[in-house]
Amino acid sequence: MIDRRTFIFGAAGGLILGAAAKRAGAALRPVETRSLPATGMAIPVIGLGSWITFNVGDSPDLLRQSTEVIRAFVEDGGGMIDSSPMYGSAQATIGHALGQLGRPANVFHTDKVWTSSVSGGAAQIKESARHWGVARFDLLQIHNLRAWEGHLETLMAMKEAGEVRYVGITTSHGRRHGSLERVMREHPIDFVQLTYNPVDRAAEDRLLPLAQERGIGVIVNRPFQGGRLADRLSRHALPPLAQETGAASWAQLILQHIVSHPAITVVIPATTQVDHVRENKAAGRLALLDPGMRRRIADHIRAL
Amino acid sequence: MSEWWTYGLSDLLMFSPRAYWALFEQENAALWPLPLIAVGLGCLLVVLAARADRLAAPMTFGLIAIAWGSVGWSFVGQRYPTINWAASYMAPIFAVQAVIAFAFLRRAVARPPHHTAGADRILGIGLIAYATLIHPLWSVLFGRPLGSAEIVGIAPDPTAIATLGAGLAFLSGSARWLFFAIPLLWLLVSAVTLFTMGEAQGWVPAIAAVLAVIGALRERDPEKLADFSDKITRHDR
Ligand SMILES: NC(=O)c1ccc[n+]([C@@H]2O[C@H](COP(=O)([O-])OP(=O)(O)OC[C@H]3O[C@@H](n4cnc5c(N)ncnc54)[C@H](OP(=O)(O)O)[C@@H]3O)[C@@H](O)[C@H]2O)c1
């Protein structure tokens, strides 16, 4: 089901990738991509989150820094940028950056609906699109299953009308997996978003196999546990097994572990740092790991 | 539907320290040269609390009312919500404190209060002086730009601390606690926010609030004292 094709994410995306490669003075290996189960469209496995990191208000300095992060992301293949009306000014920051960067074509615009008022959903989506500066989103998700029955109707109708390409539903921190499973079984959604990393592996039991079975794309949030896992591991030396996998850092080892699960479509680490975007993106070019190596990594991290 | 209670505080915090501290830089720049004038008015508050003449209390309450009104309207009502949507819900609470301070101004004009004496008054003057002159220095001491200094009358924390100082200097009994409630609540919120962000500066609002509460608990109400000495002298007669 998961097809790992070499990637050209639209013509403009290819051009930008080419430009970045030229600037780097070397042939940049294309970023690993996954086909979206529903349509076969390819998308880079390393996306970009925006919780906290892009909530910078009107600060010109921080808007500039955020733009540089998004520039690095776009130059390195782009892909999914995920936000939500819950994230303060993050949507506006992304909109600002995309405007500055000339609206790059290789961004997979991903947002959420987050309101307990079902009738208020459409207006909120419109407001979100205004912040992003886009006419429509590639993917709209129901944030934390909030009022999901009603919003799902709205989103499906929008999809039918061509106002959004894909529809999904999110959770995090391992919450409400029972409800999520029910939605996945009973409704034709394109994506689920959930927390998954070498430490938080609750999704492995039922949700990831179910996603594969039903052809639902999986977006992984909190790969670094909101930074806590990355901080904790930074106090330990990178284990020798990283030499076997090719990961140059803990962050890369974690991302490599995550995207090597065959059910995963994209992981969306958030960062404020250009170096970290590049490092994370580079993890998408590492070899995929077999289940044995994935187990060794998880065991090693758990034992630390 | 909501499962908020299962989240830790750090899961709910939606902004980073760099975005939080940048707010003060933007606010100071947008209002310049008002921050400078505000420091001057803070110094005036210190002088008023120290002199404690007939005009001191009404002027102090007037300045405090203006400070809460403007901090609530500008920083809490407009600047802070750019990174924290919950802030817009806190702005009305600042308006309430402005109204409370205004009520105390009217009362002070009609019936000049007994100025508190002794340790709590000195602590009050100290808190106002701290809020005006020392608190802005934390930005630099913690390695942030001077432009991001938190100024009394512009930023909420020093405004709340100066307000507690004024309460110690000019009020007693239940009036003082009424005047204290919102500033104490704010300082608690601020301390929790800063600690959740991992900022050591969380100790500042926490300690200021505890000091003011200790000062208020230690008080001996001058009116009660007067009553008491009255009774004693009558008894003697
Ligand atoms: N319910 C939901 O729908 C939901 C819930 C949670 C998250 N999400 C989405 O998922 C995204 C990711 O989750 P998250 O932001 O909570 O957590 P995360 O991606 O696990 O962690 C972000 C933190 O990791 C650090 N980091 C990033 N790359 C790094 C690297 N290469 N090395 C070391 N540290 C690195 C970042 O710090 P630096 O800035 O220093 O790089 C940042 O503080 C969110 O931004 C959001 O878009 C959705």
- Contacts across the A-B interface (CB distance below 8 Å): 57
Percentage of chain A exceeding pLDDT 90: 86
User: Using a CB-CB distance cutoff of 8 angstroms, which residues of chain A are in contact with residue B85?
Assistant: 88
CB contact under 8 A, B22 and A57: yes
- Taking only the tens place, the pLDDT of each residue in A4-20 is 333 333 333 333 333 33
Residue A174 CB less than 6 A away from ligand 1: no
Phi and psi torsions of A265, nearest 5°: -95, -45
Query: DSSP letter string over B91-136?
Result: HHHHHHHHHHHHHHHHHHHHSPPPPP-THHHHHHHHHHHIIIIIGG
Angle between helices A250-259 and A291-303 (to 10 degrees): 140
Cβ atoms of A169 and A189 within 8 Å: the answer is yes
Query: Which of A29, A28, A36, A32 minimizes the C-alpha distance to A4?
Result: A32
Instruction: Evaluate: CB of A124 within 6 angstroms of ligand 1.
Output: no
Residue A248, Cβ neighbours under 10 Å: how many?
A: 15
Q: How would you classify the pairing of strands A33-35 and A42-44? A: antiparallel
Query: In order along chain B (237 residues), what is the average pLDDT of each group of 10 residues?
Result: 59 93 98 98 97 91 98 98 95 98 95 76 96 98 96 98 96 94 98 95 98 86 49 43
Residues of chain A neighbouring B5 (CB-CB closer than 8 A): none
**A20 CA distance to ligand 1 centroid (A)?**
24
Is A164 strand, coil or helix? strand
Nearest to B16 among A52, A146, A176 (CB): A52
Cα of B197 vs centre of ligand 1, distance in Å, is 15
According to the model, what pLDDT value does residue B220 have?
A: 57
- Specify the CATH number of the domain A42-303: 3.20.20.100
H or E, element range at A63: helix A60-75
The yes/no answer to whether this complex scores an ipTM above 0.90 is no
**Coil, strand, or helix at residue A109?**
strand
Q: Tell me, what DSSP letter sits at residue A144?
A: G
d(CA A29, CA A41) in angstroms, rounded, equals 20
Q: Which atom of ligand 1 is nearest to the CA of A219?
A: 10
Please work out whether the CB of residue A53 comes within 6 Å of at least one atom of ligand 1. Answer: yes
Instruction: Find chain B residues with C-beta within 8 A of A173's C-beta.
Output: 6-7, 11
Mean pLDDT of A89-109: 98
Residue B5 is predicted with a pLDDT of 54
Contact B26 A57 (CB under 8 A): yes
Q: Is A268 in the pocket of ligand 1 (CB under 6 A)?
A: yes
Burial of B40 (0-12, 13-18, 19+ CB in 10 A): exposed
Under an 8 A CB cutoff, do A226 and B10 touch? yes
- The letter for the amino acid at B223 is E
* Centre of ligand 1 from the C-alpha of residue A68, in Å: 17
Q: Could you read off the pLDDT of B79-126 as tens digits, one per residue?
A: 999 999 999 999 999 999 999 999 999 999 998 776 667 888 999 999
Q: Inter-chain contact B22–A53, Cβ cutoff 8 Å?
A: no
Average of per-residue pLDDT across A41-54: 96
- A224 in Cβ contact with A251 (< 8 Å): yes
A227 interfaces chain B, CB cutoff of 8 Å: no
**Ligand 1 centroid distance, CA of A199 (Å):** 15
- Asked if A196 reaches chain B (Cβ–Cβ under 8 Å), the answer is no
**Beta bridge partners of residue A266, listed in sequence order:** A219
